[in-house]
Structure 1
Amino acid sequence: MLAWTGGGVTLLGLVMLLVLAASRGWFSPVARLVAGAVLGLALLGLAVWLHRKESARAGAVAVAGTGVAALYLVVASGTAQYHYLPAAVGLVLGLVVAAGGLGLADHWRSPALAIGAVVGAGLLMPVVTEGWGPLLAALTVVLEIVAGIVALRRGWPWLLVVGAAWAVLYASLAAGVAGSAELWPAGAAAAAVLVVGCALALYALVTSSTNAPAYGVLASAAVPMLVMGGRLDGWRGAAVAGGAAVVMLGVALVPRLDRPVRIVALTVGAVALLEATGLLFSGDVAVAVIVGEGIGFAVAAALLRSRPTLLFAAGFGVMGVLGALALPLPPGVLAGYPASPFTRGGLLQTGPLVTGLIVAVLTVGLAVAMLVALARTGLLGSGDGRAAMWVVTGLVGLYGLTGFVVGLALLVSPDRGGFVAGHAVVTVLWTVLALVLLARGIRNTPLRVAGLVLVAAAVAKLILFDLVSLDGLARVGAFLGAGLVLLFAGVRYARLVSEAETATGPATPPTGVAAPAGGAEQAAGDDGRGTWGPPDART
C-alpha cells in the first residue's frame, strides 16, 4: 500500500513538472520532457534491480508501474501538449512504451503491474494532453490494444476491462465535445474503439465462456459511436449509428456464439438501429421503417430459431404498431368516414392514405413473420401461456388487413361509398380467413381455436358495426357474403371432422368405461339403444 501510494504521488509530481512548470515558465519544454523520461527510465531500472530479490518484488511491481505510467505521460505530453512529435510518431512511441511496460508485467506474471500502469497512465493522461481531444482517445486505444493482448495471453480479464474503460470514456468525451474540425478524427477514434473492443471481447468470450468481465467490454464498445451519431445531423449521424448497428447485429447473427454473447450484441445493435432510424426519419416514415425492422428481426429469428432475436422482433413490432395506431393508421379512420388523416376538410388526402396503406401492408407482413418465427422457435402453442403470443399477433394482422382493404377501397372510390364497400369486403375476408383456420385446425388446437374466435369476431362485427354503419347494398353484401361463407364453412368443417374421425377410428368411449371388443355395432345390441357394456350384459 505504501509503495503504490508513493507511486501515485510520484506521478502527480511528474504531472506538475509537465503542466505547472509550463504555466509558470520554469525550465524549457525539452528539459521538462527529458527530466520526465529520465525519471521513468530510472524507476524502471530500479524496479528491475529490486525484482531480483524475492522479498522486494512487491515494491518492485509498484516502482515499475510508476515508471511505465511516467514514460507514457511524457510521450502524451510531447505529442499533444508541446507538439514536438507528430501524431503518428506519438502513437507509435506510445505503443512501444505500453508494449514494453505490459510486456514486463507479462514476463513477471504480475497483473498488478499491468493494471497499475494502465490505471496511472489513463487517469492522468487528460491533464498532460490538455483536453478531451481525438489524440487522447487515440492514445488510449493504443493502450487498450496492448493491454488486451496481454490480458488475453495471461487470462487477466480485469486488465482487459481497465484498458477498454479508458478508451470508451475518452473516445466518448472526445466525440461529445469535438469541434467541427475534430469531428472526423473523433469519429475515427470512436470506430477504432468499436472494432478493437469487439475483437478483444469476442476472442475472450470464445476462448473462455466464463470470462464474464468481457461482456461489459462488448456492451460498451459501441458507446462512442452512439455519442458521435448524436452529435451529427441527418444522414451523417444515421450512418455512424447505423455502422455500429451493422457491426453489433452482425456479431449477434453469428450462429456459433453463445447465447449471452448474442443477447448482449442484439441489445446494443437494437439501440444503435433505433438511434439511426430516429436520426434519419421522422413521423409516418419512421413508423413504417420501425415496422420493417421488426419484420427483419422476425425473419432472422425464424431462420436462426432464436428466441432472443424473436424478443427483439416483438419489441420493434410493439413500437411500430403503437406508432401506427398514433400516426398513419389510427383506429378512427377505420371506424368512421370522414376521419383524419385520410380526409381533411372533407377532401381525401392521397399522401397520408398511401402511407397508411404501406404501413398496413407492413403490419400484415409483421404478423405473418411473427407467426412463422413463433412456429419455428416452438412457441406457437396453446400451453404455458403461449396462446396470448399468437392471439395478439393475429389481432395485429387483422388490424393491418382491415386497414389495407378499407384504405384501398377509399383510394379506388374516395367517398363514403368506398368506405362502406371496404368494410363489407373486410367482413367477408374475416369469415373466409376463419374458414381457412378451421380447415387447417382439424388436428391443430391453436388454429382451430383461432378460427372459432375469428368467426365470433366476424359475427360481432356484422351485428355491432356493419348493421349500424353500413347502408344499402354494402350492408346486404356484407350479411349475404358472410352468411354464405359461414354456411359453407359449417358444412365443410363438419365433413372434415367426420373424415378425420373415420381415419382415426371410432370415437373414444366415456372415461372409465371400456369399449367392447366387437366394436360399436356389437355394443349397441339388438335393441339399437347403443348402451355401452360387455356382450353378456345386453339382456
Structure 2
Amino acid sequence: MNQTPQNQPPAGTGPTPVDRLTPPLPPTYPVPGQPHVQYQSGNYTPFAPPVPGPPPPTVSQRLAKAAENGLIGKILAGIGVAITLSGIVMLLVLAAQAGLLRPELRVAGGAVLAAGLVGLGIWVGRTPQRRPGAVALVATGIAGLLFDVLAAGAFYHWLPGVAALAVAGLVAGVGLGVAHRWNSQTLTLMVSIPMLILAPVVTGGVDETLVGSMLIYAAVTLWVQVGRNWLSVFIVNTAAVMIPSLIFALTSDDAWLASGFGLAGIAIAVGSSVLLVRSTGIPEIIAVTSAFAAIPLMFGAQRIDVVASAALVIGALAYLAAAFTTTRFVNRGVRSIWLVAAVVQLLAALGYLLDADYRPSGFIVVGLLLAVAAPAARDLALPVRISGTSFTGIGILVMIGDGAARLLFADHLLPTDASHTSLLIGSLMGLAATGLITWSWADSYPAAAHRLTVAGGMVGLWLVSTAVLSIAHLITDDAAAAFRAGHSTATIVWGVTAAAALLWARRLDGADRATVLSAGLAVMAAAVAKLFLFDLSALDGVFRVLAFIVVGLILLGLGVAYAQKLTDHDTTAPAA
C-alpha cells in the first residue's frame, strides 16, 4: 500500500521559503553569476561570491622579508662566530702542533684579535639598531679571550692552574657584563655554547683545568642571569659543568678531586636554581635541570668509591635544604622536584655505601625516617610519604631477592644470600616502617583506611614469616630443625592473622566489611593450603602436629563465633 511519507510536500511541489510563496524557488547552492539564497524567517540573505586569497609569497619575497627582520643577519653572525672561534682554536692549538709561529705570537695574536673584536662590538653596539651584529662581535671576542687563557694555562703551562681559573673567571664575569647591560641572552649563549664544544680541544681533553674552568664560568656568570628569564643559558651552563665532570669522574683516579668537582657542580646548580626560579616563566624546567647536576656523582660513585657516596649524601642534603627552605617564594611543584632529586641521590648513595647484606635494612630505615617526617612536611607531606613508601618497598623487594624468598622454601641459604641476622633486622625494620606508613596513608585518606590497612597487613604478614624463620635459624644450628620449627610457627601466625581479620570484619559494615572479610578468608585459605600442600610433607613430628592442632582450633573458634552471629540474627529477626 502506497502512502505519502509524513513531513514531505505533495508530489510536484518543492519546498517553499518562508515569507515567499511565489515559485520558482532560487537554488540553495552557489551558482556562478547569481547570489546564494539562505532560507530564514525574515528576508533573504545573499552571500557574496568567495574572494580569492592572495598568492603565496615566493622564495625571493620570503628572503627579502627575513632580511628586513634581521633574521639573515643573525644567521650570518652566528656562522661567523663559529668559524672565527674555530680559527682562534686552530691558531692556539693546531698551529702549535704543526710548528707554525712561535707560542708567544700565537697567544698574543689570539688575545689581540679577541680584544679587538670585543672593543669593536661595544663601539658598534652603541645604538640598539646595530646591536644584533655587535652581539656576535662581543661574544666572539669574549670566547676567544677565554680560549686564550685556557691555552696559556692548560696547553702551554705558562699559568698555574689556580691563576688560569682566576683569570678566566675575571674575563667571563666582566665580559658578560655587556650581555647584562644589553639584556642579551643571545650574547651569553654565543659564549657558553662554544665553551662547551671547543674548550676540550684547547685543553687537550677533559682534565682538572677544564672542569675547574667550567665550574668557575658557571659561577661567575650567574649574576648576569638573576632577574632575567634566561632559561636557555642556565641549561647550557649546567650541561657545560655536568658533562666534563661526568667524564672526569669516570676516567680520573683522584677520588677526592672528582667528588669535589661533582659536589661543587651540585652546589652551583642548586644555588643558581634557587635564585632563578622566581624570574623564569617555567620554573619546573629550572628545577629539573638543576637535578641533572648530580649525574657525575651518581654514575661515578661506583668507580670512585665511598668518597663520592658521601658527597652524594651531602648533595642530597643540599636539594632537601632547597626544597624545605624556599616555601615562601617557590611553588610546590618545583620543591617536589628538588625533593625527588634528593631521594634518588640518597637511594644511590645507600646502594654504594652499604654492604649487600644490610642494604635492604638501610633502604627501609630511610623509608621509616621519611614516614616519620611526612606529617611535619606541610605541603610536601604527600611527596615525602610517597618517597618513604618507595624506599620501604624497594628495601623489602631487595630483601626478598637477597634470600627472604629462599628462606621460606629451603632449609638453608646460598653463600650469595644475605645472612639470617640481616634478614631478621630487615624484617623488623620493615614491620615498623610498614606499620607507620600504613597508618600515615590511612590517616590521610580515611575513606580507604580499611583497604590500606589490609594491604599493609599482607606485607606485614610476609615480614613476620621471614622474621620467624630467621629467629629459628639463629636459635639453633640444626638447619632442618630450624626450618621445621619456623614453618610450623609461620603457619600458626597465618591462622592467627586470618582469625583476627575475620573477627575484625564482624565489627564493620558495607564495603569495608567485605574487604576485610575477603582478606581474612584468603589468608585462612592460604594457611590451610600450606598445611596440606607444604607442611604435611615438609614437617614431621611435633611441629606438624602442633601446626594442625592450632590451626584446627582456630577454625573451630571462628566457626562458633560466626555461627553465634548468625544465630543472633535469626533469633532477633522475628521479635523485630
**TM-score greater than 0.5 by the shorter chain:** yes
Give the aligned partner of residue 422 of structure 2: 355
Distance across 2 between alignment mates of 1:162 and 1:296: 36
Determine if contact 2:121/2:135 at 8 Å carries over to the other structure.
yes
Judge which range, 196-205 or 408-417, deviates more.
408-417
Q: Which of 467, 481, 500 is matched with 2:550 structurally? A: 481
Q: Which of 82, 85, 90 is matched with 1:11 structurally? A: 85
1:205 and 2:277 matched: yes
Q: Which of 368, 390, 397 is matched with 2:435 structurally? A: 368
1:396 and 2:471 matched: no
1:265 and 2:338 matched: yes
* Secondary structure of 1:155's aligned partner: coil
Shift of 1:58: 1.6
Distance across 1 between alignment mates of 2:233 and 2:409: 62
1:134 and 2:208 matched: yes
Give the aligned partner of residue 407 of structure 1: 470
Give the aligned partner of residue 114 of structure 2: 40
Give the aligned partner of residue 286 of structure 1: 359
**Alpha-carbon distance change, 489 to 283 in structure 1, aligned in 2, over 3 angstroms:** same
Shift of 1:392: 5.0
1:194 and 2:271 matched: no
- Cα deviations by residue, 1:157-179 (Å, 9 ceiling, x for unpaired): 1111111111111222222222x
RMSD: 3.8
Give the aligned partner of residue 496 of structure 2: 432
1:86 and 2:155 matched: no
Amino acid at match of 2:399: A
**Alpha-carbon distance change, 463 to 177 in structure 1, aligned in 2, over 3 angstroms:** closer
* Secondary structure of 2:445's aligned partner: coil
- Cα deviations by residue, 1:318-375 (Å, 9 ceiling, x for unpaired): 44334333333234x3345x44449x9xxxx9x9333332333234334324423432
* Secondary structure of 2:277's aligned partner: helix
Amino acid at match of 2:435: V
**Alpha-carbon distance change, 226 to 465 in structure 1, aligned in 2, over 3 angstroms:** closer
**Alpha-carbon distance change, 258 to 209 in structure 1, aligned in 2, over 3 angstroms:** farther
Distance across 1 between alignment mates of 2:110 and 2:102: 13
Distance across 2 between alignment mates of 1:422 and 1:130: 64
Q: Which of 282, 287, 292 is matched with 1:215 structurally? A: 287
Shift of 1:286: 3.1
**Alpha-carbon distance change, 275 to 449 in structure 1, aligned in 2, over 3 angstroms:** same
**Alpha-carbon distance change, 460 to 258 in structure 1, aligned in 2, over 3 angstroms:** farther
- Cα deviations by residue, 1:427-462 (Å, 9 ceiling, x for unpaired): 333343344445555245455554444344444444
Amino acid at match of 2:228: R
1:239 and 2:296 matched: no
**Alpha-carbon distance change, 411 to 92 in structure 1, aligned in 2, over 3 angstroms:** closer
Distance across 1 between alignment mates of 2:88 and 2:188: 20
Determine if contact 2:146/2:171 at 8 Å carries over to the other structure.
yes
Amino acid at match of 1:184: W
- Give the percent of matched residue pairs that are identical in Structure 1 and Structure 2: 30
Runs of at least 4 residues off by over 6 Å: 490-499
**Alpha-carbon distance change, 8 to 76 in structure 1, aligned in 2, over 3 angstroms:** same
**Alpha-carbon distance change, 380 to 437 in structure 1, aligned in 2, over 3 angstroms:** farther
Distance across 2 between alignment mates of 1:189 and 1:417: 55
Shift of 1:281: 4.0
Q: Compare CA radii of gyration and give the structure with the larger one.
A: 2
Give the aligned partner of residue 349 of structure 2: 276
Kindly report which structure 2 residues correspond to 1:299-338, keeping only aligned pairs within 5 A, or say none. Answer: 299-301=372-374, 304=377, 306-331=381-406, 333-335=407-409, 338=411
Gaps of 5+ in 1: 502-506, 508-519, 531-539
Determine if contact 1:380/1:390 at 8 Å carries over to the other structure.
no
Give the aligned partner of residue 511 of structure 1: none
Give the aligned partner of residue 512 of structure 1: none
Determine if contact 1:328/1:355 at 8 Å carries over to the other structure.
no
1:144 and 2:208 matched: no
Distance across 2 between alignment mates of 1:91 and 1:274: 34
Shift of 1:398: 1.1
Kindly report which structure 2 residues correspond to 1:19-58, keeping only aligned pairs within 5 A, or say none. Answer: 19-58=93-132
Judge which range, 483-492 or 93-102, deviates more.
483-492
Amino acid at match of 1:80: A
The normalised TM-score by structure 1 is: 0.78
Amino acid at match of 1:74: D
**Alpha-carbon distance change, 422 to 407 in structure 1, aligned in 2, over 3 angstroms:** same
Distance across 2 between alignment mates of 1:205 and 1:496: 63
| Matched pairs, number | 492
Q: Which of 130, 137, 142 is matched with 1:68 structurally? A: 142
The normalised TM-score by structure 2 is: 0.74
Shift of 1:200: 1.0
**Alpha-carbon distance change, 80 to 494 in structure 1, aligned in 2, over 3 angstroms:** farther
**Alpha-carbon distance change, 95 to 497 in structure 1, aligned in 2, over 3 angstroms:** farther
Gaps of 5+ in 2: 1-74
- Cα deviations by residue, 1:68-119 (Å, 9 ceiling, x for unpaired): 1112222222222222222222222222211222211111111111211222
